[in-house]
Amino acid sequence: MKEPDLTLKAREIMDKRVLAVTRQVSGRDLAVLFLSGSFSGLPVIDHAGRLVGMVSEFDLLKALLDKKDLHTMKAEDLMSPIPLCVEEDMAVEEVIKIMIENRIIRLPVVRNERLVGVIARADVLNHMIEPSLINVYGG
């Protein structure tokens, strides 16, 4: 069994195909995205592509508890501003530490404050573990 390479950089394992939303996306549209099952949180960017926040299912739930109308609420009203993020040249070891210390599922990856990717816990595990289960397709 090979030892995991914790010196890999965030850019080497991040998902570069990132769905992000702007500040003006409605809470209702966010709920629909989250209900698709593909997302539980999304980065919020400005028109220049700079990361300005993160919005999650928890943010929507909190708004509901506060009796807010998701049809009129916008991502900027719901998001957590200035989210934790990592630079693309950060070592995976540091990324893992941030995830563990803050109990975070995914971290935005930035270059000069602009969103360039996202690293999820599954991305880290996928690159660190040698697979032992193999799909076999019979003919």
Question: For position 34, what pLDDT does the model report?
Answer: 93
Note whether residue 138 is domain-resident. Answer: no
Number of domains in the chain: 1
Whether residue 1 lies inside any domain: the answer is no
Domain of residue 71 covers: 10-128
* Alpha-carbon gap, residue 56 to 40, rounded angstroms: 6
CA distance 50 to 134: 40
Q: Are strands 41-45 and 51-56 parallel, antiparallel or unpaired?
A: antiparallel
On whether residue 133 sits in a domain, the answer given is: no
Mark out the alpha helices in the chain (DSSP H runs).
10-13, 27-35, 57-65, 75-78, 92-102, 121-128
In-domain check, residue 26: yes
Predicted pLDDT of residue 1:
53
| Residue in the structure block whose two tokens are 């949180």 | 41
**Rounded to whole angstroms, what are the CA distances from 130 to 17, 94, 121, 124, 136?**
24, 21, 16, 12, 17
pLDDT-wise least confident of 30-34, 102-106, 115-119 = 102-106
Task: Read off the pLDDT of each residue in 8-29 and give the average, rounded to a whole number.
Answer: 94
Q: State the average pLDDT over residues 99-106.
A: 92
In a domain, 19, yes or no: yes
In a domain, 40, yes or no: yes
Q: Please check whether residue 14 lies inside any domain of the structure.
A: yes
pLDDT tops 80 at residue 98: yes
Give the DSSP letter of residue 124.
H
- Is the pLDDT reported for residue 137 higher than 80? no
The stretch 69-97 carries a mean pLDDT of 93
pTM of the model: 0.81
Tell me, yes or no, whether 5 lies in a domain.
Answer: no
Q: What is the CATH number of the domain that holds 90?
A: 3.10.580.10
Segment 47-60, tens digit of pLDDT: 999 999 999 999 99
